[in-house]
Amino acid sequence: MPELPEVEVVRAGLAPALAGATVLGVSVLDERALTRHTGDGAHFEAALTGRRITGAARRGKFLWFPLEDPAEDAPTEAIVAHLGMSGQILLRAPGAAPERHERVRLDIQHPDHGELSVVFADQRTFGSLALDPLVPTPDAEPGGIGTTDAAVPAQVSHIARDPLDPAFSDAGFRAALARKDSAIKRVLLDQTVVSGVGNIYADEALWAARIHPETTARLLPTRAVNRLLAEVRRVLEKALAEGGTSFDAQYVNVNGQAGYFAHSLNAYGRTGQPCPRCGRPIVRTSFTNRSSHFCPHCQRVPRHRG
């Protein structure tokens, strides 16, 4: 279940292979992988074939690969990719046997690396690819990590910057929380407030910051918000350094090698096990179709609600 660190590992792995590569051909095996694309598989194939990719960029959990536009100085379109729950983008030798759950394959030609196959595989089909126009960023800063262009795909424009983005605004984050009447856990998962954080790292950051997941966001003191933001960054950076989490083997990086961060988790998935800080058991609660893991001793139920 890729979150920011896992997606960044994929981006960094793809960038050298994609930058400067030309799309020789596209095979759409399952059109469910194109739910974000306006058009069918044949359109996707025709629109990409012959195009030159300039690089690999990321904001939050969204990836995009800008496409050179011969008529313009900067790219005006990009291939947008989201891995969803179980998506993978794998680099393979040309003609390699189909991957399990393979949905789309791009055959590319790179000036230095020769021919490669870029395989999009996705078990649970929550992920998708699309061709999307690029739109300018409101703050004129680069659209995300891995690009210097002040542009993002249209369908990514509503997604907030992630906490590892140099253009992320801490003050904007504090202001957004001050307006939110929802539980802080929900707000952390709201990609329009802060991107890149999923259920795992939300639980981990809240545990580290000693904040109860049901605390109303706007009631958090500034000091707690700053502590939380620092812990979000620390958790994401640590996971990034370790290559991403992969305790359910769904996530693999571009070479098919699993990341490994599960042993470092303090709260997520540790229901009933001792809190690493105080030794009392970690508790699991459900909200909608999700679950939260926290220590009821270290992360006290907020005194004030609503």
Partner DNA sequence: GATATATCCTGTAGGC
Partner DNA sequence: TGCCTACAGGATATAT
Q: Which parts of this chain interact with DNA (CB under 7 A)?
A: 1, 3, 32, 60-62, 82, 84-86, 101, 123-126, 155, 158-159, 179-183, 186, 189, 191, 195, 198-200, 268, 284, 286-291
SS3 per residue for the chain: CCCHHHHHHHHHHHHHHHCCCEEEEEEECCHHHHCCCCCCHHHHHHHHCCCEECCCEEECCEEEEEECCCCCCCCCEEEEEECCCCEEEEEECCCCCCCCCEEEEEEEEECCCEEEEEEEEECCCCCEEEEEEEEECCCCCCCCECCCCCEEEHHHCCCCCCCCCCCCCHHHHHHHHHCCCCEHHHHHHCCCCCCCCCHHHHHHHHHHHCCCCCCEHHHCCHHHHHHHHHHHHHHHHHHHHCCCCCCCCCCECCCCCECCCHHHCCCCCCECCECCCCCCEEEEEEECCEEEEECCCCCCCCCCCC
Q: Does residue 242 carry a catalytic annotation?
A: no
Nearest distance, CB of residue 273 and DNA, angstroms: 14
Contact in structure between 84 and 127 (CB atoms under 8 Å)? yes
Taking the complex as a whole, how short is the minimal distance between the CB of residue 125 and DNA, in angstroms?
A: 4
Residue closer to DNA (CB basis): 5 or 84: 84
Is residue 113 part of an annotated ligand binding site?
A: no
Point out the catalytic residue in the list 32, 280, 290, 300. 290
d(CA 175, CA 149): 27
Task: Choose between 108 and 251: whose C-beta lies nearer to DNA.
Answer: 251
Q: Is 212 annotated as contributing to ligand binding?
A: no
| Annotated catalytic residue within 58, 61, 92, 185 | 61
**Known catalytic membership, residue 238:** no
Residue 61 CB, shortest distance to DNA, in Å, is 4
The residues, any chain, with a CB within 8 Å of residue 173's CB and separated by 6 or more, are: 163, 193, 194, 225, 229
How many whole angstroms separate alpha carbon 219 and alpha carbon 179?
Answer: 10
Q: How far is the CB of 198 from DNA (least distance, A)?
A: 3
Q: How far is the CB of 304 from DNA (least distance, A)?
A: 15
Whether 180 has a binding-site annotation, put simply, is: yes
Measured from the CB atom, the residue of 43 and 284 that comes closer to DNA is 284
Cβ distance to DNA smaller for residue 147 or 199: 199
Between residues 179 and 300, which has the closer beta carbon with respect to DNA? 179
Residues designated as active site: 2-3, 61, 290
Per the annotation, where are the binding residues for DNA?
Answer: 101, 124, 180
